[in-house]
Amino acid sequence: MEKGTDRRLVRKLCDRRAPVPYTQEQLRGMFWRYDTNKDGKLSRKELKDAFNYLGASIPGWRAHRALHHADDNGDGYISEEEVDELINYAVKLGYVVK
């Protein structure tokens, strides 16, 4: 085998293993999957489970921070109107697809 081919092959294999960050759409779908009581809002508990899934080291704290960041009306839930802010927040944390 030629050396050039070898190197290309290695690079390809590395790329496949490189972590891929979640897109906004993936995060949106993921968060709503964690709306387990289907009330159209994400509670702190639901956020905690979602961040646990994403791989947060302290999911409860992360849920608290996310609420602080995205819960505009301060009712303790992330509504559909507020979820974009939540997604922006989660994107910045750079979670990668496992």
Binding site for Ca ion (CB under 5 A): 35, 37, 39, 41, 71, 73, 75, 77
Distance (Å, whole) CA 69 – CA 73: 11
Nearer to Ca ion, 41 or 44 (CB): 41
Longest Cα–Cα distance in the chain: 64
Nearer to Ca ion, 77 or 95 (CB): 77
Nearer to Ca ion, 6 or 75 (CB): 75
Task: Please count the other Cβ atoms lying within 10 Å of the Cβ belonging to residue 50.
Answer: 26
- State in angstroms the smallest separation of the CB of 9 from Ca ion: 47
Q: Do the beta carbons of residue 98 and residue 17 sit within 8 Å?
A: no
- State in angstroms the smallest separation of the CB of 67 from Ca ion: 8
Nearer to Ca ion, 8 or 68 (CB): 68
Please name every residue paired with 42 in a beta bridge, in sequence order, or none if there are none.
78
Distance (Å, whole) CA 36 – CA 96: 23
- State in angstroms the smallest separation of the CB of 36 from Ca ion: 6
- State in angstroms the smallest separation of the CB of 26 from Ca ion: 19
